[in-house]
Amino acid sequence: MDLPQGVPPAQLLKVLILGAGNFGSCLADHLAEVDHTVYIWSREADVVEGLNKTHRNPKYLTDHTFLQSITAIGPEFPDAEILNHVDVILFAIPTQGLRETLVKVRAGLNSKEQLPLFIFVNKGIEVETQELPLEIIADTCGVDVARVATFVSGPSFAKEIVRRQPTTVSVASLSPEHAQRTSDLFHQPWFRCYTNPDPVGVELAGALKNVYAIASGIADGMGYENNTRADTGLITRSLAEMTRVGTSYGASPLTFLSLAGVGDLFLTCSSTTSRNFTVGRRLGQGEDLDYIIKTLGSVAEGVTTSKALHIILEKLEVKAPIAEGVYAVLYGGRSAKEMAGELMSLPPLSEIDLPVHISKPVRALMKKLGIKEGDLSPRASVLSTIGPD
Ligand SMILES: NC(=O)C1=CN([C@@H]2O[C@H](COP(=O)(O)OP(=O)(O)OC[C@H]3O[C@@H](n4cnc5c(N)ncnc54)[C@H](O)[C@@H]3O)[C@@H](O)[C@H]2O)C=CC1
Ligand SMILES: O=C(CO)COP(=O)(O)O
């Protein structure tokens, strides 16, 4: 197969990637291909050694030979010299480790100078606080940093990007200028970027689709076929649930029809390449969760996000029976068969059921981040003026 050629960027940048798992390593190769200077940090000494000496990652994307220009650093956390040397810091570690990493980055950065561009590719919600990455960034680095942070999300398996399979993603930020800078950094003939002004929606979509991929995997593992799972019933109702949660956060419903929304939902709910789908599939086949996690070898964010989402749903008073079914199987001792029986026994419901108000916790979040209602989407703004508080 002829691989598409890289297009030289207008500006060559120095990029530090934090996390050398599947996605961090893949993006290192993607950026090094067009001559950006790429440093990648791993807390795993064997990964650092492998990338530097043999240009192979011994734990993730093990079949791929990485570009020799990539410099791996670690296992010690990058020092102030490197943190202040780079133009971009790309966070490619699971969401549960994001807060501690941001604290270390902030401590090492020289606050008097212009901060590097912060880019996030993780797809999850912090369990302890039920916060989205945007809020974690505001907590650890301040609202000004959160307002210019950018989030790359969408249907994008690392395994396929390194083989330059055509891929398309959403790039979201409250700052259009920073979204554009991030898009300029990544955009290539095999990796198209679309900017999006709704980071809350994009983050929620990316996090929630992982929970629904577990549901879809469970259905597949139980032997259910097409009507039930992929392309049809379960995925469509998952999209309705995601949109319901998202709009009660003030996100645009259109974001759930974007690459980060339905695009990633379809991808992750219909492929055994997905770790979240695989977790569900193995649960549906009767395996034990602890054993699945121990043997997966890589993160499945939906497992932890399910916990956070369970608490969020209660706080928002939003109904999401599929997500609650996944939570019950993961943490409530419910079998996959019981979950399926309960979902199919629900009374008939209206199909279009978006909420007509922004919930109180979301108003508090928007206030904290300095987001005005009209910033998010026209619909959210209109609804907030007519909906009950
Ligand atoms: N693999 C993929 O195709 C894609 C992954 N993502 C997202 O990117 C994020 C990272 O995923 P992967 O790279 O696939 O995961 P992975 O499991 O392959 O690698 C995770 C990396 O993060 C490191 N890590 C874990 N906890 C850490 C902590 N507390 N502090 C520092 N480092 C830590 C691990 O040592 C490892 O290097 C996840 O949120 C995932 O949902 C997004 C799009 C595609
Ligand atoms: O988010 C992904 C692709 O877009 C990767 O999905 P998994 O984390 O389920 O493997």
Least distant ligand from the CA of 159: 1
Q: Return the residue matching tokens 């990493």.
A: 101
Distance CA 280, CA 277 (A): 5
- Residues with a CB atom less than 6 Å from ligand 1: 19-24, 42-44, 60, 92-95, 97, 101, 121-124, 156-158, 298-299, 301
Mean pLDDT of 3-13: 85
pLDDT at 381: 41
Distance from the alpha carbon of residue 78 to the mean position of ligand 1, in angstroms: 17
pLDDT at 365: 72
The contacts of residue 124 (CB under 8 Å, 6+ apart) are 94, 95, 96, 206, 207, 210, 301, 302, 304, 305, 308
Distance from the alpha carbon of residue 264 to the mean position of ligand 1, in angstroms: 17
Residue 275 assigned as binding residue: yes
pLDDT at 364: 75
Judged against a pLDDT cut of 60, whether residue 154 lies above it is answered with yes
Share of the chain above pLDDT 70, in %: 91
CB atoms within 10 A of CB 144: 11
Mean pLDDT of 26-32: 97
Domains in the chain, CATH or no CATH each: 14-197 (3.40.50.720), 207-369 (1.10.1040.10)
pLDDT tens digits for 15-27?
999 999 999 999 9
Closest protein CA for atom 41 of ligand 1: 123
Mean pLDDT of 254-259: 96
Residue 21 assigned as binding residue: yes
The token pair at 337 is 């068969």
Distance CA 138, CA 129 (A): 13
The token pair at 92 is 């490619």
To test the pocket of ligand 2, the residue of 204, 274, 278 to mutate (highest count of ligand atoms within 8 Å of its CB) is: 274
pLDDT tens digits for 181-190?
999 999 999 9
The token pair at 141 is 């680095």
Distance from the alpha carbon of residue 51 to the mean position of ligand 2, in angstroms: 23
Judged against a pLDDT cut of 90, whether residue 279 lies above it is answered with yes
DSSP structural state of residue 188: B
Ligand 2 contact, 268 CB (< 6 A): yes
Ligand 2 contact, 16 CB (< 6 A): no
ipTM over 0.90: yes
The residue ranking higher by pLDDT, 148 or 387, is 148
The β-bridge partners of 179 are none
Q: Is the peptide bond before 378 cis (omega within 30 degrees of 0)?
A: no
Judged against a pLDDT cut of 80, whether residue 129 lies above it is answered with yes
Residue 113 pLDDT class (50, 70, 90 cuts)? low
Residue 57 assigned as binding residue: no
Residue 84 assigned as binding residue: no
Closest protein CA for atom 27 of ligand 1: 97
pLDDT at 373: 64
Closest protein CA for atom 10 of ligand 2: 274
Judged against a pLDDT cut of 60, whether residue 386 lies above it is answered with no
Distance from the alpha carbon of residue 80 to the mean position of ligand 2, in angstroms: 32
Geometric angle at alpha carbon 252, from 88 and 374, rounded to 5°: 85
Residue 249 pLDDT class (50, 70, 90 cuts)? confident
Ligand 1 atom at minimal distance to the Cα of residue 154: 43
Burial 58-95 (b: 16+ CB within 10 A, else e): ebbbeebebeeebbbbbeebbeeebbeebbbbbbbbbb
Q: Which of 207-211, 254-258, 268-272, 348-352 has the lowest mean pLDDT?
A: 348-352
Mean pLDDT of 140-156: 95
Mean pLDDT of 310-314: 95
In SS3 terms, 67-123 reads as: CCCCEEECCCCCCHHHHHHCCEEEECCCHHHHHHHHHHHHHHCCCCCCCCEEEECCC
Ligand 2 contact, 123 CB (< 6 A): yes
pLDDT tens digits for 36-64?
999 999 999 999 999 999 999 999 999 99
Distance from the alpha carbon of residue 384 to the mean position of ligand 1, in angstroms: 36
Ligand 2 contact, 264 CB (< 6 A): yes
The token pair at 20 is 């050398």
Residue 159 assigned as binding residue: no
Mean pLDDT of all residues in the chain? Answer: 91
The contacts of residue 377 (CB under 8 Å, 6+ apart) are 198, 201, 250, 251, 252, 253, 254, 255
Residue 85's nearest CA partner among 97, 95, 96, 73 is: 73
* Single-letter amino acid code for the residue at 39: Y
**Helix axis angle, 133-141 to 199-221, nearest 10°:** 130
Asked if residues 373 and 381 have their Cβ atoms less than 8 Å apart, the reply is yes
Distance CA 280, CA 371 (A): 36
- List, by residue number, the catalytic residues: 209
Distance from the alpha carbon of residue 222 to the mean position of ligand 2, in angstroms: 21
Distances (CA, A) of 106 to 12, 87, 109, 126, 239: 24, 15, 5, 19, 36
pLDDT at 5: 81
Residue 57's nearest CA partner among 158, 151, 186 is: 158
pLDDT at 232: 72
Ligand 2 contact, 213 CB (< 6 A): yes
